[in-house]
Structure 1
Amino acid sequence: MNHDESRALYDRALSVLPGGVNSSVRATRPYPFFVEHGDGAHVVDADGNRYVDYVMGYGPLLYGHDPPDAVQAAVQSHAADGPMYGAPTEVEVDLAEFVARHVPSVEMVRFVNSGTEATVSAVRLARGYTGRDKIVVMQGGYHGAQESTLVEGSPDGAEPSSPGIPSSFAEHTIPVPFNDTDAIEAVFEEHGEDIAAILTEPILGNTGIVLPVDGYLERLRELTEAHNSLLIFDEVITGFRVGGLQCAQGKFGVTPDVTTFGKIVGGGFPVGAIGGRSDIIEQFTPAGEVFQSGTFSGHPVTMAAGYEYLKYAAENDVYEHVNRLGERLRRGISEIAADQAPAYTVVGTDSMFKTVFTREGPGDGSEDVCDAGCRQRESCARFDHCPKTGADVSDAETERWERLFWQEMKARAIFLTANQFESQFVSYAHTDEDVEETLEAYKEAL
Structure 2
Amino acid sequence: MRHDESRALYDRALSVIPGGVNSSVRATRPYPFFIERGDGAHVVDADGNRYLDYVMGYGPLLYGHDMPEPVRAAVQSHASDGPMYGAPTEVEVELAEFVARHVPSVEMTRFVNSGTEATVSAVRLARGYTGRDKIVVMQGGYHGAQESTLVEGGPDSSRPSSPGIPASFAEHTIPVPFNDVEAAERVFEERGDEIAAVLTEPILANTGIVLPVDGYHERLRELTEDHGALLIFDEVITGFRVGGLQCAQGRFGVTPDVTTFGKIVGGGFPVGAIGGRAEILEEFTPSGDVFQSGTFSGHPVTMAAGYEYLKYAAENDVYEHVNRLGERLRTGIADIVADQAPSYTVVGTDSMFKTVFTREGPDSGDVGGAGEDSHVCDAGCRQDESCARYDYCPKNGADVANAETERWERIFWQEMKEKGIFLTANQFESQFVSYSHTDEDVEETLEAYKEAL
The TM-score by the shorter chain falls in which range? over 0.9
- Structure 1 unaligned runs (5+)? none
Structure 2 unmatched runs, 5+: 367-373
* Paired AA for residue 44 in structure 1: V
Q: d(CA) in 2 for partners of 1:408 and 1:214?
A: 36
Q: Does 1:406 align with 2:413?
A: yes
Aligned residue number for residue 289 of structure 1: 289
Give the structure 1 partner of residue 384 of structure 2: 377
Once the two structures are TM-superposed, the CA of residue 299 in structure 1 deviates from its matched residue by 0.1
| Letter aligned with residue 399 of structure 1 | E
Residues 13-32 of structure 1: pairs in structure 2 closer than 5 A: 13-32=13-32
Q: Secondary structure at the match of 2:384?
A: coil
Equivalent runs, 1:3-14 vs 2, <5 Å: 3-14=3-14
SS at match of 1:213: coil
Aligned to 1:390: 397
* Alignment partner, residue 54 of structure 1: 54
Amino acid of the residue matched to residue 277 of structure 1? R
C-alpha distance in 2, partners of 1:434/1:361?
30
> C-alpha distance in 1, partners of 2:207/2:237?
12
How far apart in 1 are the matches of 2:265 and 2:433? 17
Separation in structure 1 between the aligned mates of residue 79 and residue 384 of structure 2, nearest angstrom: 49
- The alpha-carbon distance between structure 1 residues 365 and 340, as it changes in their structure 2 partners (threshold 3 A), is farther
Distance in 1 (alpha carbons) for counterparts of 2:375 and 2:440: 29
In the alignment, the residues of structure 1 paired with residue 244 and residue 85 of structure 2 have an alpha-carbon distance, to the nearest angstrom, of: 32
Q: How far apart in 2 are the matches of 1:371 and 1:445?
A: 21
Do structure 1's residue 437 and structure 2's residue 444 form an aligned pair? Answer: yes
**Which residue matches 2:109?**
109
**C-alpha deviations, 1:293-350, integer Å up to 9, x for none?**
0000000000000000000000000000000000000000000000000000000000
The alignment's TM-score, normalised by the length of structure 2, stands at: 0.98
Q: What one-letter code is carried by the residue in structure 2 that aligns with 1:369?
A: V
Q: In the alignment, which residue of structure 2 is the partner of 1:91?
A: 91
CA–CA distance in structure 2, aligned partners of residues 431 and 300 of structure 1: 32
**2:375 aligns to what SS in structure 1?**
coil
Tell me the percent identity: 87
Q: Which aligned runs of 4 or more in structure 1 are off by greater than 4 angstroms?
A: none
The separation in 2 between residues aligned to 1:217 and 1:285, in whole angstroms, is 30
- On the 8 A contact 2:365/2:388 being kept in 1, the answer is no
**How many pairs align?**
446
Q: RMSD across aligned C-alpha pairs, in angstroms?
A: 0.4
> Counterpart of 1:355 in 2: which secondary structure?
strand
- Taking the aligned partners of 2:172 and 2:232, their CA distance within structure 1 comes to 16
Measure, in 1, the Cα distance between the counterparts of 2:307 and 2:243.
18
Q: Which residue of 1 aligns with 2:151?
A: 151
Q: CA deviation at 1:402?
A: 0.2
Distance 1:327 1:169 in 2: 41
Alignment partners' CA distance in 2, 1:191 and 1:411: 52
C-alpha distance in 1 between matches for 2:447 and 2:432: 18
Alignment-mate amino acid for residue 142 of structure 1: Y
Q: 2:423 aligned to 408, 411, 416, which one? A: 416
Tell me the SS of whatever aligns to 2:97.
helix
Q: Deviations over 1:205-263 (max 9, x none)?
A: 00000000000000000000000100000000000000000000000000000000000
After TM superposition, give the deviation of residue 365 of structure 1 in Å.
4.0
Please name the residue that 1:136 is paired with: 136
User: Aligned partners of 1:183, 1:221: CA distance in 2, in Å?
Assistant: 15
| Superposition map of 1:131-210 within 5 A | 131-210=131-210
Q: Residue type of the partner of 1:328?
A: R
Letter in 1 for 2:412: F
Match of 1:37 in 2: 37
* Cα distance between partner residues in 2 of 1:173 and 1:190: 14
The Cα of 1:364 is off from its aligned counterpart by 1.9
Which string of whole-angstrom CA distances, capped at 9 and with x for unpartnered residues, describes residues 42-70 of structure 1?
00000000000000000110000001000
Counterparts in 2 of 1:228-307, with a 5 A limit? Answer: 228-307=228-307
Give the superposition deviation at 1:157: 0.3
State the match for 1:67 in structure 2.
67
**Distance in 2 between residues matched to 1:34 and 1:86, nearest whole Å:** 34
Instruction: Tell me, in whole angstroms, the C-alpha distance in 1 between the residues paired with 2:172 and 2:361.
Output: 38
Query: Is contact 1:96–1:108 with CA below 8 Å preserved after alignment?
Result: yes
Report the Cα offset of residue 182 of structure 1: 0.4
Cα distance in 2 between the residues matched to 1:154 and 1:384: 23
Give the aligned partner of residue 348 of structure 1.
Answer: 348
AA of the residue aligned to 2:386? S
Q: Is the CA contact (8 Å cut-off) linking 1:265 and 1:310 kept in structure 2?
A: yes
* Alignment partners' CA distance in 1, 2:442 and 2:204: 24
For normalisation by structure 1, the TM-score amounts to: 1.00
C-alpha deviation, 1:430, in angstroms = 0.3
1:363 Cα deviation from its structure 2 partner: 3.5
Secondary structure class of the residue paired with 2:158: strand
Contact 2:330 2:379 in 1 (8 A): yes
Partner of 2:219: 219
Is the 1:342–1:363 Cα contact (8 Å) retained in structure 2?
A: no
